[in-house]
Amino acid sequence: MPRRYDPERRQRIIDAAMRVVGEKGIAGLSHRSAAAEADVPLGSTTYHFKTLDELMVAALRQANEGFAKVVAARGGLEDPQTDLAAELAGWMGEWLAGDRTAVELEYELYLAALRRPALRPVAAECTEGLAEVLSRRTDPVTARALVALIDGICLQALLTGAPYDEAYAREVLGRVVAGAGPGGAGE
């Protein structure tokens, strides 16, 4: 029987893996569960992703696009007159107000890097990419501190179920920006 041409199969498997993690968590993801969700033969998942870590890397890369899309859509960093703390607080508010399951999925995959070393470079790409964007407006140390604070605020909102408090976020982000050392945002 000739092999069916299916150029979208790899992407469907990644999308299926993300749905599985969204429904069952990381522990529920396997080649078998992704294949079943994508409605493809098990061999297709192992053909495109030799290991489960490879599949998780692809899913994390795709998940990381969520916050990046919010950042790109809002812009705001190009104008040096824009209040950086307010802009960042707005980014988080927009991201957390969107599909909460997608945000949870992104963090679940991101935190899976704690136990799965293959995911660490992708998790690092996400934080380094955001720090690089923020470095256009502040020094690199402050940019990294802002990324850590953004992650902390988002994780607290997700873990506690509390509504996102944009005024609080703006205040604490503003304190970090205001405390930037020589060459920082306030200089």
Q: 27 is in which domain, residue-wise?
A: 7-50
If you ran DSSP here, which 8-state letter would residue 138 be given?
Answer: S
Measured distance CA(30)–CA(149) in Å, rounded:
33
For residue 4, the model assigns a pLDDT of: 66
**Per the structure, how many domains does the chain have?**
2
Torsion of CA 36, 41, 44, 49, to 10 degrees: 30
For residue 121, the model assigns a pLDDT of: 93
If you ran DSSP here, which 8-state letter would residue 77 be given?
Answer: S
Measured distance CA(23)–CA(38) in Å, rounded:
14
For residue 182, the model assigns a pLDDT of: 55
Measured distance CA(90)–CA(84) in Å, rounded:
10
Identify whether 116 is part of a domain: yes
Buried b (16+ CB within 10 A) or exposed e, 41-54: eeebbbebbeebee
At 27, which CATH number?
1.10.10.60
Identify whether 60 is part of a domain: no
Identify whether 58 is part of a domain: no
The verdict on 82 and 160 lying in the same domain is yes
The verdict on 79 and 13 lying in the same domain is no
At 73, which CATH number?
1.10.357.10
pTM: 0.82
pLDDT tens series, the chain, 187 aa: 445 677 799 999 999 999 999 899 899 999 999 999 999 999 999 999 999 999 999 998 888 887 777 777 777 777 788 899 999 999 899 888 887 888 888 888 888 999 999 999 998 988 998 899 899 889 999 999 999 999 999 999 999 988 999 999 999 999 999 987 654 444 4
The verdict on 133 and 83 lying in the same domain is yes
Q: 49: which 2 tokens?
A: 């992703």
